[in-house]
Chain A
């Protein structure tokens, strides 16, 4: 299995531009998570989906952020307009919800976003 795939791996953009991050979860996994990691705030959960449905988006910082999961194999996180404070590493993770027991999350390699 290729694992969780994220693209792009690096993104440099200017303030005000739209940024779209993409994620392909592990095949068969039915939960998908978007995280943001910075030195100051650590690892923050932005939003997560179960069976393509957004369950909790309370971590989305503001309306400039939006996420979609149109099907089980693809998700996007969009920032419009982007701001310098959005600079961070954005991770996508997926897991298989078994209902009981551990639920290991498998993280993608991350997208390193720099907003100038």
Chain B
């Protein structure tokens, strides 16, 4: 079956760096995406990896290793507004739906 594993909760300090991991088990793989969702809000797209390696977008970076079925989201210079839930999502093929992980709730302490 399909499964995406990510930690349910992570706590970090303002200004620090935090890494949220995601491991996946799917019948195929076409790309790994990351979404952010604030309480009461809608998920918003953050990053995408189709190939191995690191993708950087400002303070956020995302990494993928297809051989390990593993990826992570790296958030640097954490700000209080980064407190949110973060979802990894995998598409199994170019034509299939995207499967979301259960989300990681990130709490930032001053």
Is residue B99 within 8 Å, beta carbon to beta carbon, of the partner chain?
Answer: yes
Known: A91-B42, A91-B43, A107-B44. A56 touches B87 (CB 8 A): no
Q: Which of A33, A105, A108 has the most CB of B within 10 A?
A: A105
Is residue A85 within 8 Å, beta carbon to beta carbon, of the partner chain?
Answer: no
Q: Which of A19-27, A67-75, A94-102 is the interface stretch?
A: A94-102
CB distance from B35 to the nearest CB of A (A): 8
Return the chain B residue nearest A106 by Cβ: B45
Is residue A45 within 8 Å, beta carbon to beta carbon, of the partner chain?
Answer: yes
Partner of A33 from the list B35, B94, B97 (CB cut-off 8 Å) is B97
Is residue B70 within 8 Å, beta carbon to beta carbon, of the partner chain?
Answer: no
**Are A107's CB and B91's CB within 8 A?**
no
Q: With a CB–CB cut-off of 8 A, which chain A residues contact B44?
A: 107
Is residue B48 within 8 Å, beta carbon to beta carbon, of the partner chain?
Answer: yes
A: interface residue count bin: 20 to 34
Return the chain A residue nearest B101 by Cβ: A42
Q: With a CB–CB cut-off of 8 A, which chain A residues contact B102?
A: 42
Is residue B71 within 8 Å, beta carbon to beta carbon, of the partner chain?
Answer: no
In the complex, chain A residues 7-22 whose Cβ is within 8 Å of any chain B Cβ: none
CB distance from A2 to the nearest CB of B (A): 14
Q: With a CB–CB cut-off of 8 A, which chain B residues contact A99?
A: 94
In the complex, chain A residues 82-116 whose Cβ is within 8 Å of any chain B Cβ: 91, 93, 99-110
Return the chain B residue nearest A41 by Cβ: B102
Residues of B within 8 A of A (CB): 31, 33, 35, 41-45, 48, 50, 87, 91, 94-103
